[in-house]
Structure 1
């Protein structure tokens, strides 16, 4: 079973206090760039509140959304560890507060706190596995299956403390970027999900009324509308 806790949530209170003391508070407004693709990794940032979007620009200049990160997430650790240029950019989705820690101080902290170093390794491994699952889902499923998979996966991240509902901060065109398909195809899939009361849509948000029900639909092996057209059987949840 996946561990959806953030990096900060995996640390003890004492470990987190020492980590924050290594850096300085920073704040960003919507659209501000926290990290830039191609730059040297001279720091890491721990998000304390707000949401950021991770994007990558390809050789043609097209920008693709890779994911969304929230409170407690550690950003920029890979480039800091391997001393390679950053592979993606990070942009504030809304008002963001965090702690910026210089690379040397971060590495010294990890040396002095082996358990925290292990959690960094676990986070990197978890993100690698998530990327592999993403690639498998993109290769195996039709558009409907891909939409269902990515929403189910992200709903786990945005259901605070195991809450039944989740609000995913994505525009529909950003969802299309995540699954590498046309916006009109995503809109069609979302209409089916709305009909089955598995999601509702608002401006800039996709709301999952019942995370458990969406997950149940996502694990169905069929792809396409056969996977999506399964109403929730729980009368207290989204089937009404």
Structure 2
């Protein structure tokens, strides 16, 4: 995974010939310094310009090395793609310089060079094969995927008290007055159902989106102790707006009761009573 990302030249994640990468987009870490920890909220991915990075995971109190990455490798992309908490620790194995890629910049890079997306797909295809191999070693070749999913579902259940707190909160489509109640979990996905992948967002706006202005995976509403925020997904085409202001891709923007939220061409209002 080292042929695409370079600090000079015309590859993605690079600058134009003869130009330096802006300092505000690069971060430096001394050897042994933690870049991020498992559980941290991630909104950026990183490309290694200099040095090495260890990806580690703590299991039952013991630290396990998952991989060692060096110049040209990338990591932390799930933070950009899913806005999800970090799944492992990233530690500088030696003094290193990293290029930080926000959601909006990642979106731009994908549009200019689809090879980035291909590399990420290949990376996760390899991980899937490795996971399948591990499952076969642990449980034998005859595995029931549906049974595995059923066993995982209780672990993802939300406590009744937290579920009830958010059950009244909703986004209301202004033309019809139709309410879309937010998920009791910490995030609510917004978009259009995708029959090809089978992915269905929590709030499916397909019925109201005759012009298909809403992307399949358009945005999320994030819930935290401090309130709600809207974040636009990478790859969204027609924009996401809060009170008529377009929000940047990958950056959470707070939303309060009564705020207007526009998804593509669909006008919604936040009702957090």
Which TM-score applies when normalising by structure 2? 0.41
Higher RCO (CA < 8 A, seq sep 6+): 1
Of Structure 1 and Structure 2, the greater strand share is in: 2
Of Structure 1 and Structure 2, the greater helix share is in: 1
Which TM-score applies when normalising by structure 1? 0.47
